[in-house]
Amino acid sequence: MLQTSKLTSKFQATVPLPVRKALHLMAGDLVGFEIEGNEVRLRRATPLDLAFTQALEGTLSEWSSKEDDKAFKGL
């Protein structure tokens, strides 16, 4: 069954109740987005996802400057 939600002006959306129940989500939980072609899958983020993200962040410092923030603002 398709569940929908409307984006706010800040590109935020409420996760519909049936989706929250299916994923056992609570306020403060982290979710992950998997992109395959023109489809995006939402799932609960796992500890492995978080560890991978934290490890990756350290390798991206070359793009972490005020100039980069300004260049990529609005993308």
Q: So where are the chain's domains?
A: 17-72
Q: Using the predicted structure, report yes or no on whether residue 63 has a pLDDT greater than 90.
A: no
Residue with tokens 């109740």: 17
| Residues 6 or more apart in contact with residue 14 via CB below 8 angstroms | 5
Q: At 65, list the tokens.
A: 């400057």
Rounded to 5 degrees, what are φ and ψ at 51? Answer: -65, -40
State the Cα–Cα distance between residues 49 and 12, nearest whole angstrom: 22
The whole-number average pLDDT for the span 21-33 is 91
Q: Residue 22: what are its φ and ψ, rounded to 5°? A: -65, -35
- Residue 56 has a pLDDT of 61
**pTM (predicted TM-score):** 0.59
Would the pLDDT of 27 be above 70? yes
